[in-house]
Chains A and B, each alone.
Chain A
Amino acid sequence: MTIDAADLDYRCINEEIRKVDGKCIITSCLGQRFIASGMSNIDIEIEGIPGNALGSYLNGGTITVHGNAQDAVGDTMNDGKIVVHGNIGDAAGYAMRGGRIYIKGDAGYRAGIHMKEYQEKVPLMIIGGSAGSFLGEYQSGGVIIVLNLNSRRQKSVGFFPCTGMHGGKVFLRSRCEDVVFPPQVIRRSATDEDRNELRSYLEEYCDLFSLDLEEILFSEFTVVTPDSKNPYRRMYVAN
């Protein structure tokens, strides 16, 4: 089923998606927001540029974008998968608590901000290129991986990564020698155990984008986690 989005607003697109039980290809997409918001059991391919908040509150299924995506992809998503064969804008995966976001290219500012996890629900975001500043800000759970492949940027990640991080894990395919982390996190080189964990995350991603998993795993990775012994210092006094 193909939905020609050329003359449709987002409300119509979502109605069309519901009509075909979520299985469709959307063509000529140009900036329509909230596509598949809150939906589950979908399988959507998008040609063109989807608008902001693509797949917000997504509850299951797959969205594939054959190109770039804008801001707030997967905002507060709960489950499912969003695959972007290009770059992605700011604040991707804001407060996501489950599901996966796979980006082939670069991510903008604040990717994975305030990602969280609870019990078996652990969200995963993989950025093939580099990430902008404030990666994983306020992260309280979940996993963010930055592969730093073919990026036009010099660095794997911009400024102030992991600011306010108090949970979860970030993997950066880089030695991160030139990256300044806040004092409340621990950075270290990946161990074999970490690599095994990485392998489980990356298998599907490498399949999707036809990448050589072993070659990627062979590189140097930096792992960032919160430092439980050095939490944000108690700042308050009761009055």
Chain B
Amino acid sequence: MSIDFISPEFDVSRNESRCIKCRICVRECANGVHIFDEKRGILISDETKCVNCQRCVSFCPTRALKIIKNPNGLKSNANWCSDSVNEIFKQSSSGGVLLSSMGNPKKYPVYFDRILINASQVTNPPIDPLREPMETKVFLGKKSDVIERDSDGKIKCSTEPQIELSMPIMFSAMSYGSISYNAHAALARAATELGILYNTGEGGLHEDFYVYGKNTIVQVASGRFGVHEDYLEAGCAIEIKMGQGAKPGIGGHLPGAKIVGDVAKTRMIAEGSDAISPAPHHDIYSIEDLRQLVFSLKEATNYKKPVIVKVAAVHNIAAIASGIARSGADIIAIDGFRGGTGAAPTRIRDNVGIPIELAIASVDQHLRNEGIRNNISLVAGGSIRSSADVVKAIALGADAVYVASAALIAMGCHLCRNCQSGKCNWGIATQRAELVSRLDVEVAKTRLVNLMTAWRHEIMEMMGGMGINSIEALKGNRLMLRGIGMTEKELEILGISHAGE
């Protein structure tokens, strides 16, 4: 071994008395951790390759396997923690920029966990969500400013283009290429069954999924992959991706090795060529240029589709959002710094951006101060982990939320955070046919539908407790929230009182 040897993060623990040498673990591990030693007739492990995706553990028929944290480690040091040291080893041997996947795992405050929800007692009644009407339907888009009437004085009912959702949740952008065909199919089918939307991400739309267009948001990112007239027409809304919570200010790069077959066809680029998304849109160097892109998309689709502008939550997000609201966009999607990704430079993922809770609160309040909150809907994403997070996000001021990590977990993701390797054993973040086929579309779709149905019931239960029977009355209803263990400043930004006040 050498200086660069990093003791594996995990130990593979195999209970020999249970192991029946069925070799399922060998077959299931695309990383090549488990090896059958023919000569000795035993199973051995190469822990250096283990990413702790739990695939082998989940499929071992005798529960003989455990992946445990390797007790071997550096001398403990509260400053130089082993991650910091190992990252230096990696960089000093390779000269490379550290690359990671999924959301920021660092110990930053999670404000959702410091917010408590209200319930009615005596002065007004809670509502039973099982037996009484309880509405979660949401419309996203600009609200009419002027009520127009015909010559008989009847209201003219035309509105700006709207998105209708049965519940205030959408699946956020994950491109075909970063995730598999089967994962996309499951998302598209689940969104359709649920009456919500999924998002193509920036990799174009596979021809098989045009049938789910009514429940599809098509994304236009700086790489403009797969963007053409049919694509723009295919979805029910168009999203301009300006940034992503996991990597604000950073573009994307899907290596040529992943641009194969249908991925190349869908992105409309040659097989094997790198798919590069530049950091900026090169036709947007200023806010008035955003207006140009928004309206060029509206012109191209004859003003029938709402345009979403997605940005990462960064320091000046309130002013940025206000600029977007004045750009003609119908919806702004803000992605917090805990948002997931298929690959992002570690330093960016872990150090750039701000928490989504603070972003929602400051954007919603700023738009109200400017008197333009009604011009635009607000969608919040970046680690919405449960229905309680959804309720808190909406009470802070969001119209709806985006979820992606939760959807991946529903489909089988175990958050091993190695999407960039392309060897996802769960068939999600991979293009290898033999791995993709592991993700059963029907099963994955059902699990997504189950998760969202369960969340919807929980949202209704929490709303009922508050005495609210329509989600509209929850939006921006910050009186329903209290903070716990927060500073005056944090409470001020969130616009809520402390528990007990």
Contact = CB atoms under 8 A, between A and B. Distances in A.
A116 B292 CA distance: 22
B269 A37 contact: no
Given A38-B300, A59-B229, A72-B292, A118 B98 contact: no
A91 B286 CA distance: 14
Contact of B278 (A11, A138, A234, A236): A138
Nearest to A71: B283
13 contacts: A14-B299, A33-B292, A75-B283, A95-B223, A116-B269, A118-B264, A121-B268, A164-B276, A234-B96, A235-B96, A235-B97, A236-B420, A239-B87
A37 B65 CA distance: 59
Contact of A78 (B94, B228, B276): B228
Interface string B267-285: 0111001111010001100
A236 B99 contact: yes
A82 B300 CA distance: 17
Nearest to B343: A236
B96 A78 contact: no
B144 interface: no
A140 B274 contact: yes
Contacts of B220: 76
Interface string A65-98: 0000001100110100000000000010011010
B276 A138 contact: yes
A10 B225 CA distance: 27
A56 interface: yes
A128 interface: no
Rank and list the top 8 A-B pairs by shortest CB-CB distance, nearest first: A38-B300, A237-B96, A95-B224, A239-B98, A37-B299, A236-B99, A34-B299, A118-B268
Given A97-B228, A140-B276, A237-B96, A38 B301 contact: yes
Contacts of A167: 269-270, 273
A116 B268 contact: yes
B223 to A, nearest CB: 7
Interface string B331-346: 0000000000001011
A237 B99 contact: yes
A148 interface: no
A113 B269 contact: no
A114 B300 contact: no
B13 interface: no
B296 interface: yes
Contact of A38 (B97, B229, B282): B229
A38 to B, nearest CB: 3
B90 interface: yes
B143 interface: no
Given A114-B224, A164-B276, A237-B98, A56 B300 contact: yes
A34 B283 CA distance: 13
Contacts, number: 130
Contact of B269 (A56, A72, A141): A141
Given A11-B299, A53-B292, A238-B99, A76 B276 contact: no
Contacts of A40: 229
A106 interface: no
A117 B269 contact: yes
A160 B292 CA distance: 26
B316 interface: no
A57 interface: yes
Interface in A91-145: 91, 94-95, 97, 110, 113-114, 116-118, 121, 137-138, 140-141
A35 to B, nearest CB: 9
Nearest to B345: A236
A52 B294 CA distance: 13
Nearest to B269: A116
A88 B345 CA distance: 37
A169 interface: no
B99 A57 contact: no
Contacts of A76: 220, 224, 227-228
Interface in B158-204: none
User: Dominant SS at the B interface?
Assistant: mixed
B498 interface: no
Interface in B292-324: 292-293, 295-297, 299-302
Contact of B228 (A59, A72, A239): A59
A72 B299 CA distance: 15
Contact of A237 (B97, B282, B418): B97
A173 interface: no
Contacts of B222: 114
Contact of A166 (B273, B343, B421): B273
Interface string A2-24: 00000000110010000000000
A114 B283 CA distance: 11
A238 B223 CA distance: 24
B270 A113 contact: no
Interface string B94-108: 101111100000000
Contacts of A94: 224, 282-283
A231 B275 CA distance: 13
Interface in B205-264: 220, 222-225, 227-229, 232, 264
B351 interface: no
Contacts of A141: 269-270, 273
Listed residue (A56, A71, A94) with the most chain B CB atoms within 10 angstroms of its CB: A56
B86 to A, nearest CB: 9
Given A56-B300, A166-B274, A113 B282 contact: yes
A239 B6 CA distance: 12
Contacts of B268: 97, 116, 118, 121
Interface in A185-217: none
Contact of B346 (A34, A235, A239): A239
Contacts of A10: 295, 299
Contact of B283 (A14, A91, A137): A91
B58 interface: no
A94 B283 CA distance: 8
Contacts of A238: 99, 418, 420-421
Given A116-B268, A236-B345, 17 more contacts: A57-B229, A57-B232, A57-B300, A59-B229, A75-B283, A95-B224, A97-B268, A114-B224, A114-B278, A114-B282, A118-B269, A121-B268, A167-B273, A236-B96, A236-B343, A238-B99, A239-B98
Nearest to A235: B97
B282 A91 contact: yes
